[in-house]
Structure 1
């Protein structure tokens, strides 16, 4: 087993962090480019948003397959193949000459991008000892955030200066460099033991998770919160690209630096859960989401930035709590319980744009926020039901 602080630990952890940066940079690179893509192809904001949502949709669906596949065939090879497929698809995106082609490639890219998120924690569990595992997971999650912010900055700055195809070209070059580093750094598996593919058992486990009200509630809270949170950013790019703000793609990319407050929210959620019931922590995060969303209605750029800082903190505070809750309350097959949470999470990201679109077209940003608050009221109520349910049911260690 790889021990914390060893040379192998730092090589493996750095490899997975760099892989995480690559994956999430590619997922989010299109968000600051949405107004540019809409103008280039003569499509609506909702249609432009499909270039983001189709990727999160196929990524989420792929999570259900990569885990069992890696249990049978191994972790490292699938991680590297999926990353390679994603990088090559990004390169192909720079040559897309129609919106249909761009959407098809983004869907394919999402299917490749699911490999690392589905397998990384399992790889760590196979290879690292307990102390090393806890340290490595923290670094890996930091890579998620840095990748999301970095991808948006690359998309915004390169797209603003050279156009959206060149943004994909630069992202492909970065992705190939990161892939090369991961190939060099990631140790071959030594603790992996293959298991036969058993689809029937997998389906039985998934059905059992959905019948558990404590898990289903967390799935709905996590999915619906992300349903709104990530798609608010998409519509905010159209609001801020228009008058009176008139921000270019470069500055729209910088809006996503507000995501970094979520790193603090994630860290503090664990401490808060030591003193408060986890459903109460969920409710705190959701109330902060409601507060931040309301602040963005103040029609000044500083207020909008502050609102998104509050939103990001509140979202990741609740998201980290919900993730931990799922692992804690899964009665069996905890890995598939967590994968199902991520499926709801990414399906939420994929569908939220469709929900917000009519409100955007009818009432602009005010309509988006009103629709957002309605969903947050629902997740607040579900969190309250989880609090009541937990008090009536023994907690699993």
Structure 2
């Protein structure tokens, strides 16, 4: 196997490992509520804690990789997070689960912080687009695996057994990736100067265009996680769907795989502003339809998911095109805002879900989706 193919396959497995671990509790939130002393809001914190830990440490991990190498940080992150995932089911209280999930998210931050930089530095330009595409595919498929494996496992095991099953799959992905990933050949370590690194990071906020895109990342991801955190409760409690069948709702992520892959074509045809505005508007429509009867709800989820992934693909690519210098720092700030939104908005809407009816909750999500729509409409290509 050539070096390029080994690297591409390793990055696919890294994406599978990280994103299957990141969302391992999301699909079984109703089971956690039923089998533990956790409320629905506290159960949702098992997702928000992981994404929050990732958000807080993605920038430090990116800085450390400049000194110690992308590969070291990448593999330590993937394997370390998988091992912590094995420990999560040993927790004896709901809050212990939340703390361990926060630690798991913090450790796994090194992978999304460095994976694309590793590929950009080590692969030939001709091989890079395909490798990047496969890595991103691994992210979306990993998120799907991380939700479906524990869902199926709950039919046989308790919540602990379900999480152990998911953690075992994640650990296998990480270990095989460590075996396949070639050593770095083109990395040159540099001295880390905290002041200059922070200056490079925060200077991008002076660009109103980039600041707007960071706000879109925060709001869109927060809304997306908020809907999928609690859609299982709606399907099980209101429509009487068994938990294992309700878990199939995450297959709608495949609509996001489709839409994100075609976002580039929409941008070429309509421009970035129109594509981002239209994608965010789909999230608004999808949120409102999620308040309807079951067939309408599924249509709403389909539109919402496709809109979110197209918006994310457009906004993240726009950051790279807009930043004329310190692009790695610009992208790291985008990732930080993206996962911070997941954590903060996901936690806040957990409280909202517990005190308002589902129709009102859907309206809240629609309002949250409207904000990035309005922001995008006021940007210029």
TM-score, reference length from structure 1? 0.93
In structure 2, the partner of 1:110 is 105
How many Å apart are 1:285 and its aligned residue? 0.2
Q: Is the 8 A contact 1:33 1:155 kept in 2?
A: yes
In the alignment, structure 1 residue 255 sits paired with structure 2 residue 257: no
Tell me, in whole angstroms, the C-alpha distance in 1 between the residues paired with 2:55 and 2:242: 31
Tell me, in whole angstroms, the C-alpha distance in 2 between the residues paired with 1:183 and 1:333: 29
Tell me, in whole angstroms, the C-alpha distance in 1 between the residues paired with 2:17 and 2:247: 17
SS of match in other structure, 1:197:
coil
Q: Among residues 39, 44, 56, which one is paired with 2:51 in the alignment?
A: 56
How many Å apart are 1:119 and its aligned residue? 0.7
Tell me, in whole angstroms, the C-alpha distance in 2 between the residues paired with 1:173 and 1:356: 31
Task: Tell which deviates more after alignment, 177-186 or 360-369.
Answer: 360-369
Q: Is the 8 A contact 1:89 1:109 kept in 2?
A: yes
Unaligned runs of 5+ in 1: 1-5, 391-397
1:78-98 residue CA offsets vs partner (Å, 9 max, x unmatched): 222112211111111121111
Q: Among residues 82, 86, 93, which one is paired with 2:81 in the alignment?
A: 86
Tell me, in whole angstroms, the C-alpha distance in 1 between the residues paired with 2:270 and 2:141: 29
How many Å apart are 1:121 and its aligned residue? 0.7
How many Å apart are 1:265 and its aligned residue? 0.9
Tell me, in whole angstroms, the C-alpha distance in 1 between the residues paired with 2:112 and 2:12: 11
In structure 1, the partner of 2:175 is 180
Task: Tell which deviates more after alignment, 78-87 or 207-216.
Answer: 78-87
* Length, aligned pairs only: 381
In the alignment, structure 1 residue 159 sits paired with structure 2 residue 172: no
In structure 2, the partner of 1:321 is 314
In the alignment, structure 1 residue 281 sits paired with structure 2 residue 281: no
Q: Is the 8 A contact 2:148 2:247 kept in 1?
A: yes
In structure 2, the partner of 1:3 is none
In structure 1, the partner of 2:72 is 77
TM-score, reference length from structure 2? 0.97
Q: Is the 8 A contact 2:41 2:353 kept in 1?
A: no
Pair 1:273–1:105, CA change in 2 (3 A): same
In structure 1, the partner of 2:258 is 264
RMSD of aligned Cα (Å): 1.4
Q: Among residues 349, 354, 379, which one is paired with 2:347 in the alignment?
A: 354
1:49-105 residue CA offsets vs partner (Å, 9 max, x unmatched): 000100000011111011111111112122221122111111111211111221111
Q: Among residues 101, 121, 124, which one is paired with 1:129 in the alignment?
A: 124
Tell me, in whole angstroms, the C-alpha distance in 1 between the residues paired with 2:312 and 2:70: 26
In structure 1, the partner of 2:296 is 303
1:152-172 residue CA offsets vs partner (Å, 9 max, x unmatched): 001111123211101121122
Tell me, in whole angstroms, the C-alpha distance in 1 between the residues paired with 2:305 and 2:51: 19
1:2-36 residue CA offsets vs partner (Å, 9 max, x unmatched): xxxx7111111001101110110011110111111
Q: Is the 8 A contact 2:16 2:170 kept in 1?
A: no
Q: Is the 8 A contact 1:155 1:253 kept in 2?
A: no
SS of match in other structure, 1:160:
coil
Task: Tell which deviates more after alignment, 356-365 or 209-218.
Answer: 356-365
Tell me, in whole angstroms, the C-alpha distance in 2 between the residues paired with 1:229 and 1:176: 27
SS of match in other structure, 2:185:
coil
Q: Is the 8 A contact 1:46 1:353 kept in 2?
A: no
Tell me, in whole angstroms, the C-alpha distance in 2 between the residues paired with 1:213 and 1:349: 22
Q: Is the 8 A contact 1:359 1:367 kept in 2?
A: no
Tell me, in whole angstroms, the C-alpha distance in 2 between the residues paired with 1:377 and 1:32: 26
1:331-366 residue CA offsets vs partner (Å, 9 max, x unmatched): 320011011011110011111233324542343221
How many Å apart are 1:180 and its aligned residue? 2.2
Q: Among residues 217, 225, 228, which one is paired with 1:230 in the alignment?
A: 225
In structure 2, the partner of 1:290 is 284
In the alignment, structure 1 residue 25 sits paired with structure 2 residue 20: yes
Tell me, in whole angstroms, the C-alpha distance in 1 between the residues paired with 2:310 and 2:259: 4
SS of match in other structure, 1:94:
helix
Runs of 4+ in 1 over 3 A off after TM superposition: none
Tell me, in whole angstroms, the C-alpha distance in 2 between the residues paired with 1:16 and 1:294: 37
